Amino acid sequence: MVWLKPITGAFVWVLALLSVTAHSEVVYKIERMLNVHDAQKLEKQVYGIKANAGNDRKIEVRMYTKDNYHSGGRSDKDGLLYGVYANENKSNYQHQNWEITYDHPCSTPVLGKWECTWSWVRSQKQTSTNYKGRLMNIIKRFQHEHPVLVVTGVRVIVELEFHGTSTLADVEEIHLPGVALLKSSDFVTYHGDFSALFNRGNEVTVVAHRGYWEERGVVQNSLAAIDAANAITGLDWIELDIRSTQDMHPILFHDDKPQKILQEVQTDFPAHPDTSVYDFPWGALKAYDLYDRFNTRSAEKLLDLDSAFRHISANNIVKPINMDIGIPDDVPQGWDHAANKKGKVKGKPFFDAVFLKAVDLACRYGLSNRVIFKGKYTADDPIWAKVDSILLKKYVTVDQHKHASAPKIAYTPKLGDDIKDSLVYFNKWVEVKEGQRLIPGVELVGMEIRLKNDQDIPINTFLKRAIADAHDVHLKVGVFSEAPSTCQGYWTKSALEKYIYFKDDKRNSFEWLLSNKYDYIITDFPKNLIELRTKRAQHGVHN
C-alpha cells in the first residue's frame, strides 16, 4: 500500500492510492492516444472515475506510457502517469499523479454526487505534483530522441482493475487527462455472428408473421405456432409480436385488445368497455385460454416471452426469431369518463421496459445470436445505454489481463410514414451501419421500410430512395406484407375497410414487393411466398 505524506501542516490528510486488496483481481486494458495539449489543462477539467462500487468492492484505473508499461506497476519506472480509484458507492478520487490545488477535496473533482459532511474537511486544500512532472519528462525525453518532431500525442495503456465483487457494469464513465471519455464498453469486445441471418444472393428471406397459425387449433403467437413455423421447409425466420401487460410483463400478443384471442377476458369484465391487455397485470391474464382464427378455444394459455424463449432454447429451434415489440405511442388503458371513451397513457415506458426485459431474456437463454429485435428507436435514444448495461452484466472474462467478451444483439429499425423527422432518423442509422456512429453491443442487420404504393407523393419518393440508399451501404431491407384478413389479424384496425379492399396498399402483392427489391418479407402466408420464390428461381427470376 502506498501512503502519501500529509499535505497541510494543520491537518493530516492520509490517502490510500491503488491499494491491493485480499480479493481476487481482474484487470482489463486498452491502448489510447494521450493528447499532450489537452493533458496539461488540468485546472479546466474534471477527472476521475464515476462508478458504483459496493462496500466490499474497489475499482482502480491506471494510465501508463506504452513504452514504459508493465502490467500492474505502480511506480515511476513503470511509466505510471495517473491513478484513481472508486469504492463505497461513490466516486472517491485519489489524485496522486497530477498537479492541481483545489478546495473541497471530497466533491470538487468528482463526477459523482457524493459530498463530505464535515465542514473541517471542506476547508482544506490538497496538492500533488507528480502527474504533470511525469508527463513533461516523457515529452522532453521524446523530443530529445526525435528533435525534429513536435510531440502532440503519447501512446498510453489504460488499466481497469476490479476487486471484490465489482464488475464492468458498475462503471459509468472514466475521464483521464488528455484521453477521451471512456466507458465500460471500451474495455469489452462484443460478440455476435449474424452472417447467416439472410439468404444469399437475391433469394428473398421468408418470415412467418406470428408463427404459422392457419391450421385449426393453432393460435397465433403460441408455442404451437412457433413449432408449426419451425417445421415448414424453406421458412427462414419466425416473427413474434410482443405487447405488455399493465405491470410491464412481456407477452406474445399481436393487437392491444383481446376480444378474439382471449374471449373470456371480455366476458369476465363486461363493465370494462374496450378492455386492453394493458388494463391487467400478468397474473390476471396468464390463466386465459387462447382462441384460434376459427373462433375455437385451444388447449394453450396466453404465452409470455420468458416461456417462449425457454421453449425455443429447450427444443433447439435454430430458425432466427424476428421480435416485433409493437407497443404504440399511446396505449389504451383505463377509461376516460369525461370523454366517455377508452383512456390512453404514454406507451414509451411500456416499450422501454419490455424491450430491456426481452434483451435480458435473449441473453439468459443463449438466444442473442438468433433474435432480431426491431422497433422505432432513434440511433441516439438513451435506451441504448441501458441495453449496453444489460449486455455488460452478461460479460465473461476472456483473458484476465486483456479483455472481456459480452453478447451482441441484432437490430432492425422501422421506417415508414409514421416516423417523425424520417430523413434524420434514416441518416443516423446509416451512420451506425457505416461505423460513423457507435452503439455498443448493437449490430444493425437490416431496416424495415414500409413502402405502401406507387403514388408520386413525397413520402413514397423518400421511402423508395431509402430502399436504394440502404442497399448502397449493404443494409438488408424488409417489409411486412399486408394480406387479406382471413386470419382475423386486424381486430382493432377496422380490417374490412382498411385492409381487405387494399385501395392504396400494395403490400398484399408479393410480386410488387419483390419488384421493389425487398430482401425479407414478413407475412401471414409464408407457404405462398415460399412457393412463389421456388417458381421464380426455376424460371431464373431474381429480385
CB 332 within 8 A of CB 245: no
- Cell numbers placing 531: 412457393
Which of 220, 232, 428 shows the shortest CA–CA distance to 326?
220
Three state DSSP letters for 219-279: CCCCHHHHHHHHCCCCCCEEEEEEEECCCCCEEECCCCCCCCCCHHHHHHCCCCCCCCHHH
Phi, psi of 357 (to 5 degrees): -65, -35
- What are 51's three cell numbers? 462508478
Q: How far, in Å, CA of 284 to CA of 276, rounded?
A: 12
Give Dmax over CA atoms of the chain in angstroms. Answer: 92
Long-range pairs for 378-385 at CB < 8 Å and ≥24 separation? 378/425, 378/428, 379/413, 379/425, 379/428, 379/429, 379/431, 379/432, 379/437, 379/439, 380/428, 380/437, 383/352, 383/355, 383/356, 384/439, 384/440, 384/442
How far is residue 216's CA from residue 207's CA, in Å, rounded to a whole number? 21
Q: What pLDDT does residue 36 have?
A: 82
Neighbour tally for 451: CB within 10 Å:
24
Q: What is the pLDDT of residue 98?
A: 34
Grid cell locating 216: 385449426
Q: What's the pLDDT score for residue 147?
A: 73
3-state SS string over 437-489?
CCCCCEEECEEEECCCCCCCCHHHHHHHHHHHHHHHCCCEEEEECCCCCCCCC
Report the C-alpha dihedral over residues 323, 329, 333, 335, rounded to 10 degrees: -150
Contacts of 51 (CB under 8 A, 6+ apart): 59, 86, 91, 166, 170, 171, 172
3-class DSSP assignment, residue 44: helix
CA distance 163 to 88: 12
* Kind plus residue range of the DSSP H or E element containing 374: strand 371-375
Contacts with 492 (C-beta within 8 Å, 6 or more apart), sequence order? 255, 256, 257
Residues forming a β-bridge with 424? none
The pLDDT of residue 208: 96
pLDDT at 15: 24
**324 is written with which cell numbers?**
416485433
Judging by beta carbons within 10 Å of its beta carbon (0-12, 13-18, 19+), is residue 308 exposed, middle or buried? buried
pLDDT for the residue numbered 105: 35
* Mean pLDDT for back-to-back runs of 10 residues, the chain (543 residues): 30 28 69 85 69 73 83 65 67 37 33 36 39 68 72 87 84 85 92 93 93 90 97 97 95 75 74 78 90 86 96 97 93 86 92 97 96 96 95 82 85 94 97 95 97 90 97 96 56 42 76 96 94 91 71
